[in-house]
Amino acid sequence: MSDSTDERTPTPYVESPIIMATVRIITPFVFTFGLFVMFHGADSSGGGFQGGVIVGTIVLMLGMAFGIETTRNWVGPKLPVGLVGSGVLAFILIGTGPVLLGGSFLEYHAYEIHHASKYGIELVELAIGLIVSGIVTGLFFVIASGMEDNGGETA
């Protein structure tokens, strides 16, 4: 072992064309599958939590394939916060919409559309999916950064 490796531990990242190609191919499918699971929250097993984690794993896969630092720079610090924020905001809007239309909080029937309740729950599941994927991404970067920057805030 040379001195330079002793001073700075080598990153576990290995640039492998096989992994990069695989990740490129399966990413769209994983994303679609995540959405599929999210859309099945209202009437079968599935939902925003599971779907959100699946969508969040895309960033994890990209991190494994292309290096965590590269992915972090590409994603940027604002995306996870934005995802979480817009997810919660979407939920609040869906909830308070009926109040503005004269119903009570979260009363989906106040929206005058067919199967309002079903679409309402579906939208809430999507919002939860946004939040969960944002948090998974944020947590991944925070944990990956290790103890070095001492409690810095990525998400």
- Binding residues for another protein, rule: CB under 8 A, are 78, 81-82, 84-86, 88-89, 92, 95-96, 98-99, 103-110, 150-151, 153, 155
Residues whose CB is less than 8 angstroms from the CB of residue 16 and which lie 6 or more positions away in sequence, other chains included: 65
CB of 109 to another protein, least distance (A): 7
Rounded Cα–Cα distance for residues 110 and 52 (Å): 28
Say what angle helices 116-144 and 48-66 make with each other, to 10 degrees: 30
CB of 26 to another protein, least distance (A): 31
Nearer residue to another protein within complex by CB, 20 or 155? 155
CB of 98 to another protein, least distance (A): 8
Nearer residue to another protein within complex by CB, 23 or 135? 135
Nearer residue to another protein within complex by CB, 65 or 135? 135
CB of 81 to another protein, least distance (A): 5
Burial 48-80 (b: 16+ CB within 10 A, else e): bebbbbbbbbbbbbbbbbbbbeebbeebeeebb
Nearer residue to another protein within complex by CB, 15 or 153? 153
